[in-house]
Amino acid sequence: MQIPLLNLKRQTKILNDEIIKALDKVISDTNFIMGTEVEGFEQEIADFLDCKYAISCANGTDALILSLESLGITKGDEVITTPFTFFATAEAISRVGATPIFIDVRRDTYNIDPYQIKKHLTSKTKAILPVHIFGQPADMDKVMDIAKQNNLYVIEDACQAIGAKYKDRKVGGIGDIGCFSFYPTKNLGAFGDGGMITTNEKRLALILKGLRVHGSGNSGRKAYNVINGLSDNELKFKETKYKNKTVSQSSKYYNYLIGYNSRLDEIQASILRIKLKYLDIWNQKRKEIAMYYNEKLKNTSLTIPYVSQDVKSVYHLFVVQSNKREKMINFLNEKEISTGRYYPTSLHLQKAYHDLNYNVGDLKNAEYLSKRTFALPLYPELSREEQNYIIEAIYEFDKKY
Ligand SMILES: *Cc1c(COP(=O)(O)O)cnc(C)c1O
């Protein structure tokens, strides 16, 4: 039986007619960028996540970059984050000129260990960027406490955790800003790239809306004014110290800030609006599949993922540990069961970060996990029969080795 790590064909097939209809409408409207689908989707995501503002953008990496920039994080600043994540988390920090400070993770939840944060705080630390890895929320109470005590921003990388809860609050709305990705393999996936930024602060929402469209036009002006502490009144703007240096215009071709081109398009938004309606059901299915794995695998050689009592995980990936990982992966592969190594190189040991001068042994848990972890197939449409086939194969491996 052939079982891929993720099979998107089943979900897409079920939604096919609904999606084709939505696409037909976008195509006949020809309003491909920043139209009603994007606006509608932003509102629906804000409602879904209990956030005041949701600002869409081109992808999850941009969501992180725009968020950091909107908070004024730049060269010379340090941002605390985890080394056991997808590269984009740290890359975004570096992209705005700041330095990622990697803090070791817990071996059981795979998330940042908040007790390790304090000793790495310096006068340059500006923010903490926890990642809700594999769908499980990080220990947000402790992260928020440290942030409050030390006057730091918190940016949640919720790219893998849309719909997950920390003590009954959806992730993405706990810190100052939340970042989401709609990369096709995520729990809510587009037919291409897409991203979303959530916040409860109007000021940040205005800056983000300006930055994503080249700092131009009305949204650029509003962002400029809010950054410079000016009320959004064009006349007042003209009469300030900027008099004679610039004119206030709302033209699309008048730029107030150096921004980005980072927008979600109508085609993606129309697809995501349809999929969002099913997200809770899909996340529930994922949980049921994970529970079955937990039950059946608890007495095998694998270490099954631990989920804290404080959270509701959305099981983006079912990541187990094995001290015979390579052998196990090959064995499963021979049985046509695909797996994935998440993540085989801790970020502090990536070539791209050799300038930061980390060494092997600096972040022991992340390094330990990077040699042991891998994901088993888990997606809402995975059948019980397929799951049993995977479980049987693991029993067989244990008997043999
Ligand atoms: C997917 C992902 C990103 C980046 O999202 P893209 O949409 O691919 O740019 C960032 N952080 C984490 C943890 C992710 O899983």
What does the DSSP assignment read for 118-166?
GGG--TTEEEEE-B-GGGPPP-HHHHHHHHHHHT-EEEEE-TT-TT-EE
Ligand 1 binding pocket includes 85 (Cβ within 6 Å): yes
Residue 86 in contact with ligand 1 by CB distance below 6 A: yes
Taking the centre of ligand 1 as the mean of its atom positions, its distance from the CA of residue 102, in whole angstroms, is: 17
Residue 195 Cβ < 6 Å to ligand 1? yes
Q: Do the Cβ atoms of 180 and 249 come closer than 8 Å?
A: no
Contact between 83 and 132 under an 8 Å Cβ cutoff? The reply is no
Contact 294, 95 (CB under 8 A): no
- For the chain (401 residues), the mean pLDDT of every run of 10, in chain order, is 96 96 96 94 98 98 98 98 98 98 98 98 98 98 98 98 97 98 98 98 98 95 92 58 52 90 97 98 98 98 96 98 98 98 98 98 98 98 98 98 94
* Nearest atom, ligand 1, residue 59 CA: 7
pLDDT of amino acid 249: 57
With a 6 Å cutoff on the Cβ, whether 110 touches ligand 1 is: no
Q: Ligand 1 pocket, 93 CB below 6 A?
A: no
pLDDT of the residue at 244: 47
Q: What is the pLDDT of residue 241?
A: 53
Give the integer Cα–Cα distance in Å for 398 and 348: 33
User: What is the structure's pLDDT at 251?
Assistant: 75
State residue 37's pLDDT score: 97
pTM of the model as a whole = 0.96
Distance 240 CA to ligand 1 centre (A): 41
DSSP-assigned letter for residue 216? B
Ligand 1 probe mutation, 56, 59, 61, 188, most atoms within 8 A of CB = 61
For ligand 1, atom 2, the nearest C-alpha belongs to: 159
CA of 61 to the centre of ligand 1 (A): 6
How far is it, in rounded angstroms, from Cα 172 to Cα 184? 19
DSSP letters for 245-264: T------TT-BSS---B---
Q: How far is the CA of 234 from the centre of ligand 1 (A)?
A: 38
Query: What are the b/e assignments for 176-203, b being 16+ CB within 10 Å?
Result: bbbbbbbbeebbbbbbebbbbbbbbeee
* Ligand 1 lined by 282 (C-beta under 6 Å): no
Ligand 1 geometric centre to CA of 254 (Å): 32
pLDDT given for residue 232 in this prediction:
74
Of all atoms in ligand 1, which is nearest to the CA of residue 62?
Answer: 9
Of ligand 1's listed atoms, the one at least distance from the Cα of 316 is: 15
In this predicted structure, what is the pLDDT of residue 125? 98
Residue closest to 207 by CA, chosen among 358, 53, 334: 53
Give the 3-state secondary structure of residue 340. Answer: strand
Distance of alpha carbon 246 from alpha carbon 235, whole angstroms:
12
Reduced to 3 states, what is the DSSP secondary structure of residue 7? coil
- Residue 183 near ligand 1, beta carbon < 6 Å: yes
Q: Which residues pair with 72 in a beta bridge?
A: none
61 CB within 6 A, ligand 1: yes
